[in-house]
Amino acid sequence: MPGVVRRDSSCKISPGVEFAIAVPSSYVSVVSTLVDRTRLVSSLARACGIFRVDEIVIIDDSLNDSELVKKENNDVGGASSSSTSELMHRLLTYLDTPQYLRRRLIPHHADLAYAGKMPTLDAPHQLRKTDRATYREGAVVAHTPQGAMVDVGLDEPVHVHTNKAPDVNERVTVHMDDAKQTYAIVSRDTPREQLGTYWGYRVRRCRGLSECLYKDNNEKRRYDWVIGTSEHGKAYAPVDDITPPRAALKRRAKDKKTRVVLLFGGVRGLEALYMLDQARCGPLLPSSAERKGDGAEAAHLCDDYLNFCPRQGSRTIRTEEAILIGLALLRDPVANALSSSSSSSEARTSK
């Protein structure tokens, strides 16, 4: 097609590994102005895009949300009425949304006053009009008797045949068969599963560590491999091997999928985050677990509890720095460890 560039992304991932990070909402509390908070969230989004993070979990660690909102209004001169977790969620969602869909999907809000200053993710799902690809992100603009009209960032919306059309202005992923002029709504996970292409991140807010890590009344873990970061953790170096826990290997052998989460504790550390969650929601650990009352039990929630900078030259490591260090050191080694373990297990089975 003249004037159209085929954009087959070189950003390939391990399709069976879903990688998440969890960050407390106090991540942005170290600065007081909206423009500085916007900058911090932007750096978080860029780090997650560069290292192919599939989910960002925002843990609300504010002690009193109403007091927090009042404080923020004073700090930013009344420009924002959101809590820190709401602010982070709104900005992260804005950055992940393709530019051609933002006006339709993202309502105007004071939190977005400096959104224009944030660098774009330029992720594979944020296509330009001249790009031709197998999948595009879109938004439903109208319903038809046979399906829906979907804006996918081209000159005209495409018609999607479906028995149950999503709501108007709902974001969808569309399979594009330009040769046959047929289009279908698919799961957002499909580009990753079918092509191994990174397709941006999801954003989830939760009230604490318990809601982050568990579902069904703390009876079922959301992730197969939980990695905590702390200055009290085990020293980790790039040359060290990292071994997946048995639960992660079992899930991968059964479903060919593994969910991994990397926990960051923010200014006060993961131990303080655990203590706050314990005060809000009660104990996360069985009564037989060792309890020291200082948050050290947080290590028992993790399969690995690591210190990435045991010989740091600065007294403190800022959370945005810790995120970059952690992702650089672990993103590929974790995926490689799971892939190699899976390959070894399949080889043993075939014998």
Residue 295 in tokens: 């948050």
Count of helix runs (H) and strand runs (E) in the chain: 9, 15
Can you give the pLDDT at residue 272?
Answer: 87
Q: Examine the pLDDT at 315 and tell me if it is beyond 90.
A: no
What pLDDT band is residue 217 in, cutting at 50, 70 and 90?
low
Higher pLDDT, 250 or 226: 226
Residue-wise pLDDT tens digits, 116-146: 999 999 999 999 999 989 999 999 999 999 9
Can you give the pLDDT at residue 296?
Answer: 73
Candidate from 54-63, 190-199, 292-301 with smallest mean pLDDT = 292-301
Q: Examine the pLDDT at 96 and tell me if it is beyond 70.
A: yes
Tell me how far apart the alpha carbons of residues 286 and 182 are, in angstroms, rounded to a whole number. 54
What pLDDT band is residue 76 in, cutting at 50, 70 and 90?
very low
Give the mean pLDDT of 74-92. Answer: 75
Residue 162 in tokens: 């479906």
pTM over 0.75: yes
Tell me whether residue 84 is exposed, middle or buried, using C-beta atoms within 10 angstroms of its C-beta: 0 to 12, 13 to 18, 19 or more.
Answer: buried
| φ, ψ for residue 262, nearest 5 deg | -110, 115
Can you give the pLDDT at residue 294?
Answer: 52
Tell me how far apart the alpha carbons of residues 144 and 148 are, in angstroms, rounded to a whole number. 5
Tell me how far apart the alpha carbons of residues 212 and 57 are, in angstroms, rounded to a whole number. 7
Q: Examine the pLDDT at 112 and tell me if it is beyond 80.
A: yes
% of residues, the chain, pLDDT over 70? 82
Tell me how far apart the alpha carbons of residues 86 and 125 are, in angstroms, rounded to a whole number. 24
Give the mean pLDDT of 82-95. Answer: 95
Three-state secondary-structure class, residue 347: helix
Q: Examine the pLDDT at 210 and tell me if it is beyond 50.
A: yes
Can you give the pLDDT at residue 179?
Answer: 81
What pLDDT band is residue 2 in, cutting at 50, 70 and 90?
very low
What pLDDT band is residue 205 in, cutting at 50, 70 and 90?
very high
